[in-house]
Amino acid sequence: MSIGTGVVLFVIGAVLAFGLEVDIPGVDDDFIGYLLMGTGAVVFVIGLVLLTRRRSAVERTRTVDERGVAGEQVTERRTDVDPY
């Protein structure tokens, strides 16, 4: 979702900066366009970083024999978990 939001912000900013000649008193539409373009680029990059990030889960199972520690067996399983 953040990748799409970044693209939309960038496009709206480009339209404001380069496509429209709106004269609103007290507002610089070029500056707002550049600001939206920068924000869109940052949101896009953050979305890519979050998309490529993976987490790993470690599950440990410990089985102890009835006699105690002598029959102890430890099993470890690692899996990659997609955060989405």
SS (H, E, C) 38-70: HHHHHHHHHHHHHHHCCEEEEEEEEEEECCEEE
Residue holding tokens 């600001």?
35
Which residue do the tokens 């366009």 mark?
33
Cα distance between residue 28 and residue 34, in whole Å = 10
Q: Please give the residue that has the higher pLDDT: either 82 or 43.
A: 43
Tokens of 62: 């410990």
How do residues 24-73 score in pLDDT, each as one tens digit?
888 888 899 999 999 999 999 999 888 877 666 666 666 666 666 544 55
Please give the pLDDT value at position 70: 47
pLDDT exceeds 60 at position 83? no
The reported pLDDT for the residue numbered 44 is 95
The first and second tokens of residue 66, run together, are 């009835």
